[in-house]
Amino acid sequence: MASKRRLKTVVVGIGGMAISDSPDESLVAHSLGSCLGVTFYDPVLKVGGMAHCMLPLSRIDKEKAKAKPGLFVDIGVPKLIEAMLRRGCRKKNLVARVAGAARVMDRANFFRIGERNHAVFRKIMWKNGLFIRAEDIGGDQARTLRLEIETGRVVVQSEGREREL
Amino acid sequence: MAYNILIVDDSLTARTFIARTLQMAEVPLSQVYQARNGQEALDLLQRVWVDLVFADINMPTVNGTEMVRQMRAMDLLKSIPVIIISTDRSAQRMAEMREAGVQAYLTKPITPEDLKAVVERFLKSA
């Protein structure tokens, strides 16, 4: 089994985006709270991509949006899709999975950042004509999201438990 | 096989949502007809053949419940499968529609993924 092999971890930090076609790599976003971890995988080309977005809309800080588009769901996710397409992936083959959007440090849900991240993500997917294969969203726990490039397997770790998405 | 589909809803947004989701799901489509209420749908069904109907319940003139009742009373239309997409979550309404022979009952708001799953289930069993 491929997953028994030691995979090289590529950490996708806050605002980061990564694409890989190396079968010995896995892309990982740690400590997703209200942030959104988005993965796309093309099972035909075995190319995977991940974004770790922090806020829903880029209009609140245009300079940051320019410097690090991956911080914002509304521009980070389309950029990741574009980059995957430039790698030769076909939109109809892209499998999308998403995790995060919790209410960490905002128990009263005043800012609703997680919720808004998720809502904007759904809107972007709809605009791009893409379905979401699986999601692990909300709650108040932090999550770690991992995408294995060789298999396309996506795993979410949270509160000591691990489950395949 | 390509399908003829009829979408019955008084909201243009809802009709567009269903039509676009079917396209995104790559459902083989021949024609997608739209009607704004049950009466328009029944009139249309006199002229064209459809393989599947998506219908809302709360609509002006003839509502979804009455439309399904009338379809079930007509030989030519009684076997056409109907999927209800409504905001009405009452158990009584759902039971009533199941009794009338609707294939599935989805409550709004629905996601494109919910709709895709139902359509795929239906097309597989068709």
Q: Mind listing the domains of chain A with CATH numbers?
A: 2-164 (3.30.1330.200)
Rounded CA-CA distance B46/B60 in Å is 20
Residues of B in contact with A129 (CB under 8 A): 20, 23-24
Q: Give the CATH number, domain containing residue B102.
A: 3.40.50.2300
B74 falls within a domain: yes
Q: How many CB atoms lie within 10 A of CB A92?
A: 11
Nearest CA in chain A to B113: A131
- Provide the pLDDT confidence category of residue A99 given band limits of 50, 70 and 90: very high
Looking at CA atoms only, how far is residue A95 from chain B in angstroms? 13
Residue from the list A92, A129, A132 with its beta carbon closest to the beta carbon of B113? A132
Interface of B with A (CB under 8 A): 20, 23-26, 111-113, 116
B126 falls within a domain: no
Please give the tally of structural domains in chain B: 1
| Token pair in block for residue B124 | 């597989």
Residues of A in contact with B24 (CB under 8 A): 129-131
pLDDT digits (tens, 9 = 90+) for A56-90: 999 999 899 899 999 999 999 999 999 999 999 99
- Provide the pLDDT confidence category of residue A109 given band limits of 50, 70 and 90: low
Rounded CA-CA distance A163/A155 in Å is 6
B101 falls within a domain: yes
Contact A117, A75 (CB under 8 A): no
Sign of the alpha-carbon dihedral angle for A18, A19, A22, A25: positive
Yes or no, beta carbons of B113 and A126 under 8 Å apart: no
B58 falls within a domain: yes
Residues of B in contact with A132 (CB under 8 A): 111, 113
ipTM for the assembly? 0.70
How high is the pLDDT of residue B36? 97
Residue burial B20-49, b: 16+ Cβ < 10 Å; e: rest: ebbebbebeeeebbbbbbbbbbbeebeeee
| Token pair in block for residue A3 | 């997953």
Residues of B in contact with A96 (CB under 8 A): none
List the catalytic residues of A. 35
B122 falls within a domain: no
Rounded CA-CA distance B76/A65 in Å is 58
Amino acid at A84: M
Yes or no, beta carbons of A131 and B25 under 8 Å apart: yes
Q: Which residues does chain B have with pLDDT short of 70?
A: 125-126
- How far from chain centre, in Å, is Cα A147? 9
Structural domain for B15, as ranges: 3-111
How high is the pLDDT of residue A1? 47
Yes or no, beta carbons of B24 and A122 under 8 Å apart: no
B53 falls within a domain: yes
B43 falls within a domain: yes
**For A13-26, what is the mean pLDDT?**
96
B16 falls within a domain: yes
